Amino acid sequence: MTTPKEVVFCLLLALVGATKRTFPPDFKFGVGTSAYQIEGAWNVSDKTESIWDRLTHSNPGAIVDRSHGDVACDSYHQWQRDIDMAVELGVHFYRFSISWPRILPTGFPNKISKDGKNYYNNLINGLLAKGIEPVVTIYHWDLPQRLQDLGGWTNPLIVDWLGDYAKVLYSLYADRVKTWVTINEPTLICDMAYAGIGFAPMIVDFDIARFLCTKNVLMAHAKAWRIYDEEFRPNYNGKISLSNHVIWYEPMEGETEETADLARAMGEGRYSHPIYSKEGGWPPILEQKMAEASRKEGYWTSRLPALTTEEIEFMRGTFDYYGLNHYTSLLVRRQRPDDVLHFMSGSEEMGVVLEYSPKWGNTSSEWLKSNPEGLRKLLVYIRDTYGDIPIIITENGCASSHSLEDYNRVDYHEKYMEQMLLAINEDKVNVLAYTAWSLMDNFEWNDGYNSRFGLYEVDFEDPLRPRTPRRSAQFYADVIKSNSLDVAQKYRNDEL
């Protein structure tokens, strides 16, 4: 016979279990997209050419399926359906980006497009009318080609160019947009674009250009943040930061944390330490290793640009939250004499090599292995490295097969959100929000339309680009409605 004490004990156990799977009452859920990946209408009205327009049109072989974003999801015309999908999911916010060449056809503020301005006004107002917060990314890779012709991200003048562009957006939309992302994933803007492997502008100059780009991207972010802080925050009191793509680096068996820290300094540290650390500037170990590598290569100065005291102070502290895009993990080991190094095999300057673990789960993307525990470790690492600052997960997701029954995506989101909850509830990391990438299938950069990240399937063969919810969309909507992961069981495929 069960005693009253045993009943109470069982109820307490149930409550504890529910707490571990339940989100904080003020936690927010969202979805994300970006302009070039969904809008289409690449030459509609007075919009001008972006670097992705130029790449996909002049060098289609750079894209796996030789496709482009000329029409993509046709969200320029289908924006009302996009809002409806956000409503169906029940998200608290929708993160999207604004196309620089759509708003500023010359790349400069001497001409603001009336049609471009109205398009984003309609989208923002439409979201707000449905009770959904617009979260706006200022720059998500679609640089005006005119600015690329002037040197793009290797020209230090781009700090002012992006600042002027950001000020235009604040002037147009800051009365309604309360959360901003200045720049999305600087590491891909710099490290991928200058490796010549299918990312615009697809210039091969990995030794010098990527580090010039790194400095200029961070200075441009700081410029955009300071303009908001000084001129717009007093009236609108919004939040603004950048979103970093951060891979979790795990030391390989037999290696130490110090080995992984070398990779972290080149990756996360290069784009976070100047902004989020108390002292600012480059990570000291990165400066040391880059100086050593540069001398060995015959350079008179480090390939990592030096920062003046003024530049360090200009960048330091330019955040209101830590914007985190996270998808996967990598193992780290020390280089061996017989290693044949190539791009993305590791950080040659740091003396380490990066590899995938065969124990991690596969997804439909070769580069994206599922290691949910890596997210928890990364969140704790960010807190321990930079202090107890608010964190917004601005992207997390995986590709699936072209099917509505995307069980692998349900599994991925459940397990990654579960690890995020452990970081919140057990490690006391201050995570405020989670953004599923992405709302719908889209043009997935150099993968074209082969990679499907969408909660909604898009039929790209149909001129109307109809959107259909996948199993993962139903799962995510149920999680949001219940504010809990306990609903996951009915969406799983137990045979997987």
CB 135 within 8 A of CB 38: no
Does residue 53 sit within a domain?
yes
Q: What is the dihedral of CA 204, 209, 210, 211, to 10 degrees?
A: 160
Number of Cβ atoms within 10 Å of the Cβ of 494 = 6
Measure the CA–CA gap between 152 and 143, rounded to whole angstroms: 8
User: Annotated catalytic, 426?
Assistant: no
d(CA 205, CA 202): 9
CA-to-CA distance for 165 and 111, rounded, in angstroms? Answer: 11
| Residue 425 counted as domain residue | yes
Question: Among all chains, which residue has been given the structure tokens 């289609």?
Answer: 60
How much of the chain is in helix, strand and coil states, percent to nearest 5? 45, 15, 40
Q: Which of 268, 395, 418, 444 is catalytic?
A: 395
CB 252 within 8 A of CB 333: yes
Provide the whole-model pTM.
0.95
Strand ranges (DSSP E) for 17-151?
Answer: 28-32, 93-97, 133-139
Residue 297: inside a domain, yes or no? no
**What does the pLDDT read at residue 342?**
58
- CA atoms within a 13 Å half-sphere pointing along the CA-CB vector of 149: 8
H or E segment and range at residue 392 = strand 391-396
Q: Tell me whether residue 317 is in a domain.
A: no
> Pairing relation of β-strands 352-355 and 329-334?
antiparallel
Give the model's pLDDT for residue 124: 99
DSSP-derived secondary structure letter, 395: E
What CA–CA distances, in Å, run from 444 to 36, 65, 91, 112, 154?
10, 11, 23, 28, 25
Taking only the tens place, the pLDDT of each residue in 292-303 is 999 999 999 999
> For residue 120, what are its two tokens?
């984003």
Q: How many domains, in total, are found in the chain?
A: 1
Residue among 39, 133, 185, 250 flagged as catalytic: 185
Contact between 259 and 313 (Cβ < 8 Å): no
- CATH of residue 218: 3.20.20.80
The total number of residues written for the chain in this structure: 496
Q: Please tell me whether residue 329 adopts helix, strand or coil conformation.
A: strand
What range does the domain containing 476 cover? 24-244+371-491
From CA 241, how far away is CA 487, in angstroms rounded? 33
Backbone angles phi, psi at 179, to 5 degrees: -130, 125
Helix, strand or coil, per DSSP, at residue 432? strand
C-alpha–C-alpha distance, residues 286 and 406, integer Å: 41
Please give the angle made by the CA atoms of 398, 400 and 404, to the nearest 5 degrees. 125
**pLDDT by residue (tens digit) across 7-38?**
343 443 344 444 579 999 999 999 999 999 99
Residues forming a β-bridge with 135: 95, 179
Contact 381, 391 (CB under 8 A): no
Distance of alpha carbon 261 from the chain centroid = 22
The DSSP element (H or E) to which 120 belongs, if any, is helix 114-129
Tell how strand 93-97 and strand 248-251 pair up: unpaired
Neighbours of 1 (CB within 10 A): 3
Judge whether 395 counts as a catalytic residue: yes
Phi–psi pair at 333, nearest 5 degrees: -140, 160
Alpha carbons 139 and 188: distance in angstroms, whole number: 12
Q: Judge whether 180 lies within some domain.
A: yes
Task: Give the pLDDT confidence score for residue 347 in this predicted structure.
Answer: 79
Tokens 């045979």 correspond to what residue?
495
d(CA 40, CA 36): 7
| Domain contains 13 | no
Number of H helices, E strands in the chain: 18, 14
Q: Which helix (H) or strand (E) holds 179?
A: strand 179-184
370-395 as b/e: b if 16+ CB within 10 A: bbbbbbbbbbbbbbeebeeebbbbbb
* 64 falls within a domain: yes
The DSSP symbol for 107 reads: S
Does residue 403 have a cis peptide bond before it, meaning omega lies within 30 degrees of 0? no
Asked if residue 177 is part of any domain, the answer here is yes
Which ranges of 150-208 does DSSP label H, i.e. alpha helix?
158-173, 186-187
The DSSP letter of residue 61 is G
The stretches in the chain having pLDDT less than 70 are: 1-19, 341-346, 494-496
As a whole number of angstroms, the longest Cα–Cα distance in the chain is: 82
Amino acid identity at 297:
E
Pairing mode, strands 467-469 and 456-458: antiparallel
